[in-house]
Amino acid sequence: MTYSKPIVLLVMTLAVLMMGSCQSRRVPRNAPANATTSATVVDAGTEVDFSLVMNRDWILSEFKTGSGTVVLNRDRHVEMGFGNIFTLRFNDALAIGTAMPNTFRGPYTPGESRAITFGPMATTRMASFVEPEELNEDEFFAMMNNVVGWNLVGGNLELYTSAEGDVGGAMIFVPLEN
């Protein structure tokens, strides 16, 4: 049985979109076992314009959960051949980036008081035989799915997370030097 190219492309595109919208909502492995729901409060004192984070490349430097802070060892990642993983860029309509090893893209909506929500992320679905020990791709996407707010602190982009089973946390992105 043979299929025409447009049908095969349509089926493959739909499969990628469906997989991206079915991402796991696992609690990061660093969260305590008895974590409870709690939103991270974003101080809305001084307004920061979202355009300051747009059209810039960001790379995840560390993340915080109820059980502590995990700093990603970028030098070791480069030595292992990972390169620039866990990156993020906001253009006019989409958040795009690279996890490990897959790329992703999806809509986002900034709101009042530095709130932000992400729509379903479409991802490539390549298998990775080696992962960084600090964070795997599913954990990264689980945190991204639970982002509720953002802020610029000391030139870094902080995305605040909150989810059932998570005590709330932050993903700290630094500007990526090209």
Query: pLDDT digits over 86-109, tens only?
Result: 999 999 999 999 998 889 999 999
CATH, residue 30? 2.40.128.270
Domain that residue 70 falls in: 5-175
Give the model's pLDDT for residue 73: 81
Give the per-residue pLDDT at 57.
Answer: 96
Which residues fall within 8 angstroms of residue 98, CB to CB, at 6 or more apart?
A: 84, 85, 86, 87, 104
Listed as ranges, residues in the chain with pLDDT below 50 are 8-44
Per-residue pLDDT tens for 120-131? 999 998 877 666
Provide the CA 162 distance to its chain's centre, in angstroms.
13
Q: How many domains does the chain have?
A: 1
